[in-house]
Structure formats: C-alpha cells, structure tokens
Amino acid sequence: MAADLEEKTDRYGELLAEALEAASVAPPTGTPMAEAADECYEMASSYLEDGTHFREEGDLVNALASFSYGHAWLDAGARVGLFDVPTEGHLFTV
C-alpha cells in the first residue's frame, strides 16, 4: 500500500507541474478576471511547493493532498475561463 501511495503522490506532483506549465491566463491583463486568474495560479503554484516540501520530508499524505488541491485550483479556473489550457490530453478535465 505504501508503494501505491508513493507512486500516486509522484504522479500527481508531475501532473500539477505539467498543468502549471500548460496553463496561461486567459482574461486581458489588468482586468478583475485576470487578477482572479493570477491568484488561482499562485495558489496552485504554492500547493506545488508545499507538496514538494512534504514529499521531500517523506510526508506522502500531505504531499498528495497538496498536489491534488493545487490541481483543483487550476482545473476549476480553466472551467470558468480563467486559463487557456490544452483541451486534449490528461492535464485538465475541461
């Protein structure tokens, strides 16, 4: 079971890192929606950093939770139009 948790944690960390690279802010700069997109992106990025820290410390449960929360921020933002993201592939559910 520990091996499954480790594999899943690593997979979700990689997924979040790839999704952050693939997402770009959709609304025009200087608009309230662009500010909201920036905040969502920052939250996702912060969760990636937190998850990486937890992973390095061997805390797989909190690492996995952090990676999952971070991806949820991006995915939700993509669904409401805050981000331009690829519609094909495994990164987003849009």
Domains in the chain: boundaries: 2-84
Q: What is the pLDDT of residues 58-83, one digit of tens each?
A: 999 999 999 999 999 999 999 999 99
Rounded CA-CA distance 44/84 in Å is 15
CATH classification code of 2-84: 1.20.1270.90
The average confidence (pLDDT) of the chain is: 95
Q: What is the pLDDT of residues 8-26, one digit of tens each?
A: 999 999 999 999 999 999 9
